[in-house]
Copies of this chain bind each other. A is one copy, B any other.
Amino acid sequence: MCPFKVVNTNINFSTKGEIEFVDLSNTVQEAVAAANMKTGIVHVFAPHATGILLLTENDDALLNDIKVFLEELAPRHKNYSHPSNAHAHLRSALFQPDRTLPLINGNVEFGTWQSLLFVETDVYPRKRTVIIQVIGETE
């Protein structure tokens, strides 16, 4: 029997709009535990053009700095071609919505100061889906 498998989990949540941070670190660890997987990778993907997956420290002061950083890199009020939410798209394009994490001995190997956050960049409340794929060995 092949001890290799893929286990997919979709998680759904609502956001309040620009800018909100949703910590997915525990959700990812739970998906790995539910899949009973030992070694491999965890691929996390947000199927959205105005959302970001971000590895960083989950510290309120730092998240405030990241919010300001996003606003400065792609300001909301500027002369864009795309109507209404171009800045939300530019922020998502710059930071991207796909990340891959190592799974070793049954745990996702986040660093001590590292969390996985979804960042809402769109301008109004949205229903969001994140796909978590655990790929690897069960033994």
B contact residues around A57 at 8 Å (CB):
49, 89
Interface of A: prevailing SS: mixed
Q: Which of under 10, 10 to 19, 20 to 34, or 35 or more describes the interface residues of A?
A: 35 or more
B contact residues around A40 at 8 Å (CB):
6, 133, 135
How many of these chains are in the complex?
3
Cα distance A44–B8 when bound, in Å?
20
Q: With A41-B133, A109-B131 given, name 4 new contacts (CB 8 A).
A: A5-B137, A54-B93, A69-B90, A104-B131
Please list the residues of chain A having a beta carbon within 8 angstroms of any beta carbon in chain B.
2-6, 8, 39-41, 43, 45-50, 54-57, 59-62, 64-66, 69, 73-74, 80-83, 86, 89-90, 92-102, 104, 109-114, 131, 133, 135-137
